[in-house]
Amino acid sequence: MLLEKEKYDLILLDLMLPGLKGEEIIKKVNNVPIIVLSAKISSDDKVNCLLSGASDYITKPFDSKELLARIEVQLRSNNKNNVLDNLKYKDLELLSDKHTLLVCNNKVSLTKTEYAILKQLLLNKPQVISKNKLLDLISIDTEDCDENSLRVHISNLRRKIKDYTDNEYIESIWGIGFKIKD
Amino acid sequence: MLLEKEKYDLILLDLMLPGLKGEEIIKKVNNVPIIVLSAKISSDDKVNCLLSGASDYITKPFDSKELLARIEVQLRSNNKNNVLDNLKYKDLELLSDKHTLLVCNNKVSLTKTEYAILKQLLLNKPQVISKNKLLDLISIDTEDCDENSLRVHISNLRRKIKDYTDNEYIESIWGIGFKIKD
DNA sequence: CAAAATCTTAACAATTTCTTAACCATTTTC
DNA sequence: GAAAATGGTTAAGAAATTGTTAAGATTTTG
């Protein structure tokens, strides 16, 4: 699936298009604003999409100027939350080269999976990420991956971080998932 | 002007209100999402507001559920500690992002089951929740669970709350279930 | 194709949570 | 008021989850 391999600034999702159900796409996407275009004027549809993760919902027919303005709103707010800023936290800095982490300014090389996990945790910093969500995320790169496997990745990440700092960064929330410690 | 002295998570701006012109307010505000409510359906108005800095624009009449959903979208993207997600009542505050409970601002860690029970009770605050309903809820996570077990969970919850406040929060309704005390 | 890096699986220990069971208190029923 | 049913508390053992390690499988790289 393209969504999983490429990077996007914004997704315009037409609910009338054939193929995947819109709501499923919305739930799969993370940290990319989605504007839903739809002929459905049902309020329930709107509410569902918005609560599932869509950033905006425009009912057809719409004025093209309005669409452009709403696109600008999304891009504007996305730039404010500069992604790169969010990837710094205390002694950690995740570099965008996809596999390097700085711990107290020491280079630590991460595997693709470790990078993906840590990035997700840092992006959502105070929040808990469920094990299932992390698994979904990892499955983009590698298919078979169960909780056991995830545990090993987390363990490896912790060890790599611990080599350079005494602070604990990855906290387990029993029965739920993981989060970055405050 | 109030806007300058107080802090806000979100501004709902009704363009029909007398006083300042909406667009001027929008331009004055920084870093706070603004949802504009208006009866004006002119596309130019929408576009102007959005380009001036508004985050969303809703045309009257609108469905209240849609408004709430759009409010949540704004709070979600702006501040990840979503106010709407946190259940507050008197000395209690259930933090959804951490799966923890604050009692008089003291962190108390809850188990998955305790969290689920308290969340259900707080969500339906003045109402009684039947024992069966609570059991159904818990069974999502843990299979075998009878009334005896539920009693123990409630007891543990009460103890954890009692450690930090003298107020009673969980009331038993004899033969029916439990509720949050008024 | 071979070597290296990465991932999954499996096993085990450690930890946390849940249920069971016993006992006592309270409320209802007769 | 006594018996029966329901609720509250506690502790111990059962069950589930997590952490760690190492080995074998898979993928990537040169």
pLDDT tens per residue across span A22-69: 777 787 776 788 999 988 777 788 898 898 889 999 998 889 999 999
- Please state, for a pLDDT cut of 90, what percent of chain A lies above it: 46
In whole angstroms, give the CA distance from residue A58 to residue A71.
Answer: 11
The gap from C-alpha B79 to its chain's centroid, in whole angstroms, comes to: 13
Query: In this model, does residue B95 exceed pLDDT 60?
Result: yes
pLDDT tens per residue across span B115-155: 999 999 998 888 999 999 999 887 765 555 688 999 999 99
On chain B, the residues whose CB falls within 8 A of the CB of A68 are: 47
Tell me which of A68, A127, A132 to substitute to probe the interface with B (most B C-beta atoms closer than 10 Å): A127
Min Cα separation B112/chain A (Å): 6
pLDDT tens per residue across span A58-103: 998 889 999 999 999 988 876 655 555 558 899 999 987 768 899 9
Q: Assign 3-class secondary structure to chain A.
A: CHHHHCCCCCEEEECCCCCCCHHHHHHHCCCCCEEEEECCCCHHHHHHHHHHCCCEEEECCCCHHHHHHHHHHHHHHHHHCCHHHHCEECCEEECCCCCEEEECCEEEECCHHHHHHHHHHHHCCCCCEEHHHHHHHHHCCCCCCCHHHHHHHHHHHHHHHHCCCCCCCEEEECCCEEEECC
Subunit contact B70:A50, Cβ cutoff 8 A: yes
Domains and CATH numbers, chain B: 2-80 (3.40.50.2300), 86-180 (1.10.10.10)
Query: pTM of the full predicted structure?
Result: 0.74
Subunit contact A173:B98, Cβ cutoff 8 A: yes
The residues close to strand C, meaning Cβ under 7 A, are: A 99, 109, 111-114, 138, 141-146, 148-149, 152-153, 174-175; B 109, 111-114, 138, 141-146, 148-149, 152-153, 174-175
Query: In this model, does residue A141 exceed pLDDT 60?
Result: no
Q: How many CB atoms are closer than 10 A to CB A85? A: 9
pLDDT at res. B170? 96
Bridge partners of A34, per DSSP, are A11
pLDDT tens per residue across span A155-176: 999 999 999 999 999 999 999 9
Of all residues in chain B, the one with the smallest CA distance to A180 is B98
In whole angstroms, give the CA distance from residue A35 to residue A73.
Answer: 11
In whole angstroms, give the CA distance from residue A37 to residue A54.
Answer: 11
- Which residue is closest to D19 in terms of CA–C1' distance? A155
Packing angle of the helix pair A43-52, B64-78 (nearest 10 deg): 10
